[in-house]
Amino acid sequence: MSEDQVRMSCRNVNVAYSGNLAIKNVSMDIMSKKVTAFIGPSGCGKSTFLRALNRMNDTVDGCEVTGEITLDGNDIYAKDMDTVFLRQWVGMVFQKPNPFPKSIYENVAYGPRIHGLFRTKSELDDIVEQSLIGAGLWDEVKDRLRNPGTGLSGGQQQRLCIARAIAVNPEVILMDEPASALDPIATRKIEELIHKLAQNYTIVIVTHSMAQAQRVADKTAFFYAVPLTEQDNSNLIEFGDTKQIFDNPVDDRTRQYVEGAFG
Amino acid sequence: MVQIIDPKLKDADYQRAMTLRRRNKGKRFQAWGIAALAVAGLMLAALLYSIVSNGVRGLMEDRITVEVYFDPEKIDPRDSGDLAVMRMFNFDTLVYPVLYEALDIKARGRSDRDKRRKVKQLIGLGASNQLREMIVRQVGVDPVTEDPILVSGGTQLGERVTVELTALSTASNPYTQTLRELGYLNTRFNGDFFTGVNSNDPGYYGILDALVGSFWTLLVCFLASFPVGVLAAVYLEEFAPRNLITDFIEVNINNLAAVPSIVFGLMGAFVFIYVFGMPGGTALVGGLVLSLLTLPTIIVAARAAIRSVPGSYREAALGLGASRQQAMWSFVLPSAMPGIITGTIIGLAGALGETAPLLFIGMVGFQSGIPLTPLDGTPSLAVGVFNAFGSQFDELKNQLSNSTIIVLLVLLMLLNGTAAYLRYRSEKS
């Protein structure tokens, strides 16, 4: 697979909640095996857009997505697209660590179970072990796989959620402010993990921390526009290489935001 | 900025007076609260005292021990040897002379007639039956002639046997104390109360049939209302669209919870017994009728429990590609289960104490023994309170009624205690 292959492509995407536009006319390409960061002030729609990428918004009453989002050339909003398969390919890690009230093992095994990704118990054991290794959690929990996942520390819980997400072997992992509820040390571990995961997965991360975006992201998208007015053409203000966005932004609003003038 | 104009407001004495007034007001309010609580507590104490003081006496029973001479002259004067003849004899009359002698009462004549009546009050109809069974027992009915089939009870005429009989109304009888001192009367734990079944004779009344009947009734009630209630709650909470129809259903579920139980009894009698032809007075019909009462409780509790499950479980499962049903069965329902079970137990506890609808469907007055299946006619424990009391006031019946209430209350406390424990455990974890 070539280095700059497009994994997800978005064209003129609008997201509306009960008729109110939250995302207007966003087009961008998400590159394979790169980390793409969404930054912007609260309420700019970056989380909404992230959730549009694996149709998590479907569960919200009155939410409507128009435009085109493709994964490897397939329209994810096509009628015959099954959200079960889509979410297997495009996994999600949430802001607050949300392990299931089950054992560490069962947390990771749940995804493979519902998708039938194994034939024997030892295959499942393998998947669980590989996923926990991949999430950098194996050494800490290998002796207590039967303990409840909710008994881990916040940072460990979030890595457990990442292990759970990669256990179904996704193409893309969406992360909605994955470190915002964690302390600096746990945050650092998550960031190192994101780096490592980018070797195998395409990662999209929403973050409030500009330092974090600079540390982890290859590409950065700056969202802005609250409230959205008729004149605004789009609320994706600028999208490019992280270095360019932070060192040499084209748009004034981007520069003000990355310099900390507002937000 | 508000300017304080009145200089009096800054005066230390004035402030002290105001503080005092405020504190007194608080104290008065507290006193009213305590008074209200005391009145409620007093009422509860009076109720419990009445139940326990009467009920405990019902759990103890007074027994009269006498040596009975089965006098052939009296039982079978013509020496016919015919069991049917012996059966007609009033066996209780064998007991009285012994007691008259002990109490120094003349067996004949007008002078001691009142005293004899008092003694007779101690011995009930059951005593006569008990003695008769020793001589002659009925084991069935001849299918052709419809005559009773009689066998010997094992005791021969002319024998002297020491028997224990239940003594009735001992608390108000003037001879109780004398008989006790003479060793004829003693008090012991009323084991019959827990092993016997419903009987018109309070000396032989027991609650085993009512206990088993209540068990069957609650089992049917649980099996009918739990799955329906939980599924209805799951559907309403997780899958139903928000529209006028579901709003209408929701309002009516709450209305259903407020319908007086006797209405369900009338409906049950008509629908289950008259229309569907189910056997009346059975635990099956009783359980179904009570399930109508518990259903709204279970639905409301289950919906609240499902709503309180953190949305993050659902979201996490959906994010992994689980369908909504899978998220429901894997996480939402298991997490809600303690709350659902608590609500169910509270609903069942309410059903356990229900009486009115069960009277409607005929679960009253049965004396057919212990119900072996939910299809047997049976009283329930709450109806048992009613059965024990009978149609007119009687000291012993009143006591037995209260004893039954004690058993009922103990069961209710156990059920509610279980619910409280489950709630406590789920809150802790």
ipTM: 0.84
Residues A225 and A232: their CA atoms lie apart, in Å, by 8
Phi, psi of A90 (to 5 degrees): -115, 95
Could you tell me the domains of chain B? 65-188 (no CATH), 208-428 (1.10.3720.10)
Scan residues 150-169 of A and list those with Cβ closer than 8 Å to B: 161, 164-165, 168
**What pLDDT does residue B35 have?**
97
Q: What is the mean pLDDT of chain B?
A: 87
Chain A, nearest residue to B314 by Cα: A100
Sheet with A63-71, strands from edge to edge, namely: A20-31, A6-17, A63-71, A74-75
Q: What is the mean pLDDT of residues B170-189?
A: 85
B316 and A98 in contact by Cβ < 8 A? yes
Query: Residue B331 is nearest to which of A54, A83, A100, comparing CB atoms?
Result: A100
Q: CB burial class (10 A; 0-12, 13-18, 19+) of residue B366?
A: buried
**What pLDDT does residue B58 have?**
82
Place of tokens 């109110």: A20
Please check whether residue A118 lies inside any domain of the structure. yes
For residue A22, what is the domain's CATH number? Answer: 3.40.50.300
Size of interface A-B (CB pairs under 8 A): 65
Question: How many independent structural domains does chain A possess?
Answer: 1
**What pLDDT does residue B2 have?**
63
Per-residue pLDDT tens, chain A, 263 aa: give them.
445 788 999 999 999 888 888 888 899 999 999 999 999 888 888 899 999 999 988 878 788 899 999 999 889 998 888 888 899 999 999 999 999 988 999 999 999 998 888 999 999 999 999 999 999 899 999 999 999 998 999 899 999 999 999 999 999 999 999 988 888 888 998 999 999 999 999 999 999 888 999 999 999 999 987 566 666 688 888 999 999 999 999 888 888 888 887 76
Q: Which range (A170-179, A220-229, B275-284, B357-366) has the least confidence?
A: A220-229
A84 and B242 in contact by Cβ < 8 A? no
Can you list the positions of beta strands (E) in A20-120?
20-31, 35-39, 63-71, 74-75, 90-93
**Statement: residue B232 has pLDDT above 70:** yes
**What pLDDT does residue A93 have?**
93
Spacing of C-alpha B367 from chain mean position: 16
B305 in Cβ contact with B333 (< 8 Å) = no
Preceding amide of A227 cis, omega within 30:
yes
Can you list the positions of beta strands (E) in chain A?
6-17, 20-31, 35-39, 63-71, 74-75, 90-93, 172-176, 202-206, 219-223, 236-241
Residues from chain A that touch B322, judged by Cβ atoms under 8 A, are 84, 110, 114
B228 in Cβ contact with B218 (< 8 Å) = no
Residues A46 and A206: their CA atoms lie apart, in Å, by 7
**What pLDDT does residue B226 have?**
96
Per-residue pLDDT reduced to its tens digit, B200-224: 777 778 889 889 999 999 999 999 9
**Statement: residue B22 has pLDDT above 70:** yes
**What pLDDT does residue B370 have?**
84
Please check whether residue A1 lies inside any domain of the structure. no
Please check whether residue A97 lies inside any domain of the structure. yes
A164 and B320 in contact by Cβ < 8 A? yes
Q: Which of B84, B107, B81, B82 is nearest to B94 (CA)?
A: B107
**What pLDDT does residue A1 have?**
44
Residues A72 and A5: their CA atoms lie apart, in Å, by 9
Residues from chain A that touch B315, judged by Cβ atoms under 8 A, are 56, 59, 94, 98
Residues B406 and B313: their CA atoms lie apart, in Å, by 44
**What pLDDT does residue B142 have?**
84
Please check whether residue A66 lies inside any domain of the structure. yes
Identify the domain containing residue A65 by its residue range.
6-258
Question: Which is higher by pLDDT, B286 or A62?
Answer: B286
Scan residues 220-259 of B and list those with Cβ closer than 8 Å to A: 242
